[in-house]
Amino acid sequence: MNELISVVIPTYNRKDKLPACIASVLAQTYPNLEVIVVDDASTDGTELLFDCNIDPRVHYVRYGDNRGACYARNLGAQHAHGSILAFQDSDDLWHPDKLQKQYDLLTATGADLCYCGMNRVAANGSSFYYPVHAPHPGRALEDFQPGGGRVLLVAAGKAAWQMAHAAVQALGRVDGGVVVTKYGHVKGEIPGVTCYEAGHPVPDANGFAATQKALELVQGLQPEDTVLFLLSGGGSALFEKPLIPAADLEELTHNLLVCGADIVEINTLRKRFSGVKGGRFAQLCAPAHVVSIVLSDILGDPLDMIASGPAYPDSSTCAQAKEIVQKYHLPMTDQMLTLLEQETPKALDNVETQITGSVRQLCAAAAATARTLGYEPLILTDCLSCEAREAGVFLANMVRYQRTAGRRIALIAGGETVVHLTGHGKGGRNQEIALAAAPGIAGLDGCAVFSVGSDGTDGPTDAAGGFVDSTTQAALKAQGCDIFATLADNDAYHALQKCNGLIITGPTGTNVNDVSVALVRA
């Protein structure tokens, strides 16, 4: 028997897109449903759409004060009559059999929750797919269909070797390939593929040479050929053909890293001085088809910013790049100023892109692991983007607050913080998060905070991150180490080393931002 499914659609100022959204729900092959549209105090005349009864299955709820999407969803659930709830955003569309497939899965498995992937279509017509499974290039290639010509592989980033290895295993063979990854990240030979190691976060001559090999590989391709482009974080430094002298690029990279610029700002500038970034690599592959599989390390998964988007149209502008130069007072040569006036590609018709992993999946995996260990997981955010020290203090404050609940709780925050360099010590953003949390949890038995980079490296160190607990501050004080002075000198590495607080994993083969976890055991 088909149970009633209540579809809740929160909306705010989506009068232009809401009708198509509702139509896609009403067009579902699943027959027994109702639609509850919750108007979060729209000001664009959304209520006029419901002056006439567009369908007896559609119910409209409106309130006078804007309270946000979460409130709207909860209110919609209160008005629901169905035994199953489904949530839809008012600017999205559903495939006609979406509900039927999910209902069949729920009834077959007895599961309490079912979710699905999505396709996102950009304004320029480019599309990319967010899958439901965990990061795995082999799975991402399940529907891979080359054009009948040669299949060439190019992989760049800190996860490049792992992605290329999985891809070749899935495909059986490729007709040639180049991998460029960070020093120490190549784990062996890959049939048909030449692997190179290079500098990160500052690009070096080995990276330039490896990129040139990749460009030579894709020269003279035909429309029936396919370039499988595997991209992960770190690709901005590792995959590079500079349009400026190497010394100028090194100085620019250093200045951007120390001034506190975020990754989007950094990559906006990098594109202007590169022969492969900002969609230019895909242009060089034409007329061949480029299938790009991306492991995201940037919040919100902006495809033109991940590794500076070598195979995706660039949304940033020359004006934005110049604003960043002015914001951080970055020195520019005459050559660099000239390049700042040259726009990057804004459209590419030979690229298909798919995201195969992100920080959101990292947080979900952390929550699942916490649950198996007896903790109640609470994902605070997957968009953590503040100063690293502030994130550490915040997590410590959350520990103190949650400790009164009397439960075993794991507070999870994913993202990528920034560090403004004020000293000359050694460390990374995750080590700073952990060390900054230590004073706030001092003396709180059963409480701990740790933070790690998913790639296994944190800053220019051999550590993935750091761990502190209720005893860390006292242990460091006994050794004459002042935490606040240490943070001012950006020397978290040596402080954590003194109290066995370094987390060292080695290269993990992935790169999807960082995850910070605060454990509370009452």
The confidence score (pLDDT) of residue 234 equals 86
The pLDDT-based confidence of 51 (bands split at 50, 70, 90) is confident
Q: Which of 145-149, 200-204, 485-489 has the highest mean pLDDT?
A: 485-489
The confidence score (pLDDT) of residue 135 equals 44
Options 3.30.420.80, 3.90.550.10, 3.30.450.70, 3.40.50.720; which CATH number does 5-114 get?
Answer: 3.90.550.10
Q: CA 267 to CA 304: how far, in whole Å?
A: 9
Intra-chain end-to-end CA distance of the chain, in Å? 46
Task: Select from 240, 242, 250, 246 the least CA-distant residue to 180.
Answer: 240
Classify domain 127-357 at the CATH topology level. Rossmann fold (3.40.50)
| 265-302 confidence digits (pLDDT tens) | 988 998 999 999 999 999 999 999 999 998 877 666 77
Structure tokens at 121: 């279509």
In percent, the amount of the chain with pLDDT more than 90 equals 66
Residues of each domain in the chain carrying CATH 3.40.50.10180: 127-357
Options 3.90.550.10, 3.30.1600.10, 3.40.1480.10, 3.30.300.30; which CATH number does 360-521 get?
Answer: 3.40.1480.10
In percent, the amount of the chain with pLDDT more than 70 equals 94
Residues of each domain in the chain carrying CATH 3.40.1480.10: 360-521
Residue for token pair 């999870």: 412
Residue 124 above 90 pLDDT? no
Mean pLDDT of the chain: 90
The pLDDT-based confidence of 134 (bands split at 50, 70, 90) is very low
Q: CA 261 to CA 458: how far, in whole Å?
A: 17
Per the CB < 8 A criterion, the answer to whether 235 and 271 are in contact is: no
| 393-439 confidence digits (pLDDT tens) | 999 999 999 988 788 999 999 998 988 888 999 999 999 999 999 99
3-state helix/strand/coil string of 276-302:
CCCCHHHHHHCCCEEEEEEECCCCCCC
Q: Per DSSP, what are the bridge partners of residue 429?
A: none
Mean pLDDT in residue range 240-256: 91
Residues of each domain in the chain carrying CATH 3.90.550.10: 5-114
The confidence score (pLDDT) of residue 138 equals 53
| 24-41 confidence digits (pLDDT tens) | 999 999 999 999 999 999
Per the CB < 8 A criterion, the answer to whether 111 and 32 are in contact is: no
For the purposes of burial, counting CB atoms within 10 Å of the CB of 87, is it exposed (0-12), middle (13-18) or buried (19 or more)? middle
The confidence score (pLDDT) of residue 133 equals 46
| 325-364 confidence digits (pLDDT tens) | 999 999 999 999 999 999 998 989 999 888 877 788 889 8
The mean-pLDDT minimum among 27-41, 95-109, 124-138, 422-436 falls in: 124-138
